[in-house]
Structure 1
Amino acid sequence: MTEKIGVVGAGIVGLAVARELAMARGAVVTVLEKESRVGAHQTGHNSGVVHAGIYYQPGSLKARLCREGVTLLKEYCAAHALPYDEVGKLVVASTRAERPLLGALAERARANGVPGIAELDALALREVEPHAVGVAAIHSPHTAICDFAAVARRLALDLEELGGSVRLSHPVRAIRERAGKVEVLAARRRFAFDRLVVCGGLGTDQVAEMAGHAGEVRIVPFRGEFYALKGAAEALVRGLIYPVPDPRYPFLGVHLTRQIDGRVLVGPNAVLALAYEGYRWRDVRDAGRILGWPGTLRLAKAHWRTGVKEVYGSAVKGAFVRGARRYVPELTAADLVRVPGGVRAQAVARDGRMVDDFVVDVHGSVVLVRNAPSPAATSSLAIARYIAGIVPALVR
């Protein structure tokens, strides 16, 4: 009997998981997606950076799957003629006080096996980015950019060639486990699967609750807003220029990112959203649910000063400009134009702690991807292999 597996979510992680299960298990895999296209949310609203593995705790799932994922993604893009460009990244210390953090970051990158890491002084960093300034930097020459939405579309084609399918405009309405099967009502159709893998991103909690597995962490959405450089200002940035991150947060701070189409993004910030798809300030339809989770208010209480700073940066363009000028002082307000941003699904525990690592839970025939923030897109093919290895085998 051929195994039938359902995957909820046609983002890059869900599609990679579906493809891997079809290849490794010979399963017939059906992806259920509520939107009318693949990669509609986080996959299609990010900066396109293929992270090298600089930031992550050595030995963590993030660190391991990021490094494995980079190799797999680079090979996949080459095999399918998808754009992939190693433009390189500078992580810049703008003050002497940041130098110890920068040194620790370089040590972490080496521990994670990131190739080519170099520590640069103020003069050497300008050889990499002539218009950047700082007291020191670390250079990751193999950090790359790609088009994750294009990768997602190719993964969907792969799945179909393997005999699977992607059902667009099929929001999941109900889930029930019965008689060794997982029954799913999506749109107006009923599906019966042997196994179900939930890669719901921003909608993870709702789908998990339908399956009866609410869990002790919840998704809290953070909106990331961007500006883009325009005109001659685009030439001021060759690759990627990042600040030294605050170790208390999983967000990397406002940075400058060249994209695969040649644009240069400035951002993102990280503002608490009051809707899971809260791309605009006026999107507040999920406020009760988000604020009703005890972890949200505990997080806000512990970090309210940072929250106020992020809101200010959202409302006042000058704050974004100052953040960018800290690293590229030639920029002016006239060089930045606002462009669409995205929303990040960040798992927060009941005690207010932001969950840093990837989290995947197995509940019988249901596998839940609880937390897959950045670098999930980079790691997607490796995450798929990891999940394929823990999805329970079908007992015949």
Structure 2
Amino acid sequence: MRHIAVIGGGIVGLAVANELAGRGHQVTVLEKESHWAAHQTGHNSNVVHAGLYYKPGSFKARMSVAGNASIVDFAKEHGVPYEVCGKLVVATSEDEIPRLNVLAERAEANGVPARMISAAEAREYEPEVATVAALRVESTGIIDFPAVCRALVKLLNVHGADLRLNSPVLGIRSSPVGAGVELATPQGIVRADALVNCAGLHSDRIARMAGLNPSATIVPFRGEYFELTPERRGLVRGLIYPVPDPTLPFLGVHLTRMLDGSVHAGPNAVLALRREGYKWSQFSATDLFEVAKFPGTWRLAKKFARTGVEEVLRSFSRKRFAASLARLVPAVQEQDLVRAEAGVRAQAMLADGSLVDDFLFETAARQVHVLNTPSPAATSSLEIAKHVADQAESSLS
């Protein structure tokens, strides 16, 4: 049995810790906030993704498809609310149909249960949808990811794990008295045989603190949401997604019925002014300086200048946001929307301005760093945990 410290108390960190504890290791989890799932997990859209968007053979494709099954099985076993409701990806014009066909081919390559349907069939699922053709994806679902985290915490307590909230990592060094690592926290030094970095929005900083020069830098993007007013929730029965544009970095706004019956609409994607900046009023001079000095930021901005401006304008205009949603459901109007809680995506970016497309893991002696796990990481969390636990054990040999 080895002692492994896991940094980060979101769903990935807790899943990794639970996997390691289940393999017989002593585990300490260090979370800087006062509660679990405080950031990306707690501001998640709560969608169980099927795995159709991702390059066949990639971590995302393999882990999302496997994770779609394993997270549902976990929910069944531990009483976590979920529903496998399926979703529609809709082509709103004839020129989107070729891209929809490509998506159907990718779904088949990834082993995702999906089928092309006509506009009439699509309206049997979603009477208000605007579409000329659609892809029906049966295995997509909705779940309470924070409840998954609470279940993981219970399991970790059963395993006897050392779970520490309010414990930011302030420094990391190799142990001067033997093989291992030492992590400084406000409560004292944590000594472990190895560390796993699942710090999400701060994962690159933790990697540098541990002596690595990570290949990617985290650039935070805020995703802003609206909800349909209660009297207009009937416009959407399930999940309605657009056909993704492969030339753009993010998916685009969509509509999602949640477990409580509310309907979330969004997100857009704008640069957050701090790593945990859920509002325009939340900013950090240090975080902004890091983003400004990183060459990838400017290269990305130059490439997607027009798209970026449109996203910012939509951030300040409920009318523009409603117009984007009306492409999918024409009955949606400006007065049907109320602001909902935003999230911040920890997006890993390379110096050339390209976004890291797949999950990214980097290792060193007695260290594993999870450097890029945006969506579908929550869906894939139990599968990511197996992979990271394998790497952690290998780092000890």
Does residue 1:239 correspond to 2:238, yes or no? yes
Matches of 1:395 and 1:106, distance apart in 2: 42
Corresponding residue number in structure 2 for 1:131: 128
Matches within 5 A, 1:104-183: 104-115=102-113, 117-178=114-175, 179-183=178-182
* CA spacing shift, 1:30–1:395, aligned 2, 3 Å: closer
Ranges in structure 1 where 5+ consecutive residues have no aligned partner: none
Matches of 2:396 and 2:62, distance apart in 1: 30
Q: CA deviation at 1:394?
A: 7.5
Does residue 1:91 correspond to 2:96, yes or no? no
Shift >4 Å, 4+ stretches: 393-396
**Alpha-carbon deviations, 1:170-224, whole Å to 9, x = none?**
0110000133111001123111010100000001122111101131210010000
Does residue 1:351 correspond to 2:352, yes or no? yes
Out of 324-333 and 355-364, give the one that drifted further: 324-333
Matches within 5 A, 1:1-396: 2-24=1-23, 26-115=24-113, 117-178=114-175, 179-285=178-284, 286-393=287-394
Q: CA deviation at 1:371?
A: 0.4
Matches of 2:214 and 2:197, distance apart in 1: 14
Paired letter, 1:323? S
TM-score, length-scaled by structure 2? 0.97
Matches of 1:386 and 1:392, distance apart in 2: 10
Matches of 1:195 and 1:232, distance apart in 2: 53
Count of residues in Structure 1 that have an aligned counterpart in Structure 2: 393
Q: CA deviation at 1:309?
A: 0.9
Q: Is this contact kept in 2: 1:274–1:290, CA < 8 A?
A: no
Alignment RMSD (CA, Å): 1.2
Q: CA deviation at 1:29?
A: 0.4
Secondary structure of 1:346's counterpart equals strand
Ranges in structure 2 where 5+ consecutive residues have no aligned partner: none
Matches of 1:183 and 1:250, distance apart in 2: 38
Q: Is this contact kept in 1: 2:220–2:346, CA < 8 A?
A: yes
Matches of 1:317 and 1:393, distance apart in 2: 50
* CA spacing shift, 1:135–1:81, aligned 2, 3 Å: same
Q: Is this contact kept in 2: 1:94–1:326, CA < 8 A?
A: yes
* CA spacing shift, 1:313–1:33, aligned 2, 3 Å: same
Q: CA deviation at 1:267?
A: 0.2
Paired letter, 1:76? F
Matches of 1:251 and 1:165, distance apart in 2: 37
Out of 56-65 and 242-251, give the one that drifted further: 242-251
Secondary structure of 2:370's counterpart equals strand
Matches of 1:210 and 1:142, distance apart in 2: 40
Matches of 1:62 and 1:259, distance apart in 2: 23
Matches of 1:125 and 1:84, distance apart in 2: 23
* CA spacing shift, 1:30–1:10, aligned 2, 3 Å: same
Q: Is this contact kept in 1: 2:366–2:396, CA < 8 A?
A: no
Q: CA deviation at 1:274?
A: 2.0
Matches of 2:339 and 2:387, distance apart in 1: 38
Q: Is this contact kept in 2: 1:6–1:32, CA < 8 A?
A: yes
Matches of 1:284 and 1:57, distance apart in 2: 35
Matches of 2:41 and 2:250, distance apart in 1: 17
Q: Is this contact kept in 2: 1:269–1:310, CA < 8 A?
A: yes
Paired letter, 1:121? S
Matches of 2:51 and 2:4, distance apart in 1: 31
Q: CA deviation at 1:311?
A: 0.5
**Alpha-carbon deviations, 1:328-362, whole Å to 9, x = none?**
11122111100111000000001101000001111
Secondary structure of 1:73's counterpart equals helix
Q: Is this contact kept in 2: 1:87–1:238, CA < 8 A?
A: no
Q: CA deviation at 1:322?
A: 0.5
Matches of 1:213 and 1:156, distance apart in 2: 29
Secondary structure of 2:170's counterpart equals strand
Percent identity reads: 50
Q: CA deviation at 1:232?
A: 2.0
Matches of 1:54 and 1:250, distance apart in 2: 16
